Amino acid sequence: MSTHSPDSETPTATPVREQWSSISKHVFNSYLEANNAFLASMGVQPPTASKTTDADRDCGASTTVESPLAELAFADEAWLTERSVEEHDELGVGEYVRFTKRISESDVSAFATASGDTNRLHLEDGFAETTQFGGRIAHGTLVAGTISAALARFPGTTVYLSQDLEFLAPVEIGDAVTAECELLEDLGDDRYRVRTTVSAASDDGDENDDGRTVIDGEAVVAISPLPDE
């Protein structure tokens, strides 16, 4: 990883103060969301999510809403979820969940700060244009995180036990990605072997670039019934 600061001089670089303000805003939101999820896991009701202000939208913040799924602390009105069953006792081989979201500029900025991965390939236009990708791309582990988001949407409480991944293609900032998780094998004791894939649709309108598989792999997870509330 490069030690070069993301605020180096490039013609398209965002002013340092403005960039830091934006990153700080999104990191705060990420920490708040993580805290809410932790409180929910402990049986404490987190604050009700509300729509963002105009200032939030200027920073590219998400619009959070109350989640219709008991498994989630909150949702975003732009996220899409499809699942084949609604109850934990209906889970079995062949059941699936699909989760779709667009990878935004704010996602990349927040992930870079939260993870410490400030690779110039993800943050600097001028540098990224000189690489084999021809422009900035999203962090691979950020994109892979949508698999975790999909797993969390199975009915019940999902816990990761293992994950194998193969990164097949890059994801550009602005692409919409869909993570699909399908139960392949019932291992007993609420544990399952799961096929995990992520596909991406380009934001540039190129139909030939839509639906390409960018990540493939398998996971083992435990999906237990939701605790009584």
Q: Give me the chain's average pLDDT, please.
A: 81
* pLDDT value of residue 40: 45
pLDDT tens digits for range 187-197:
999 999 999 99
Instruction: Return the domain boundaries, the chain.
Output: 79-103+138-229
The better pLDDT of the pair 41, 172 is held by: 172
* pLDDT value of residue 173: 96
Residue 89 has pLDDT above 60, yes or no: yes
The better pLDDT of the pair 103, 42 is held by: 103
Residue 167, class by beta-carbon neighbours within 10 Å (0-12 exposed, 13-18 middle, 19+ buried)?
A: middle
pLDDT tens digits for range 181-222:
999 999 999 999 999 999 999 876 555 567 899 999 999 999
Which architecture, in CATH terms, is 79-103+138-229? Roll (3.10)
Strands 176-188 and 191-201: antiparallel
The pTM of the whole model exceeds 0.75:
no
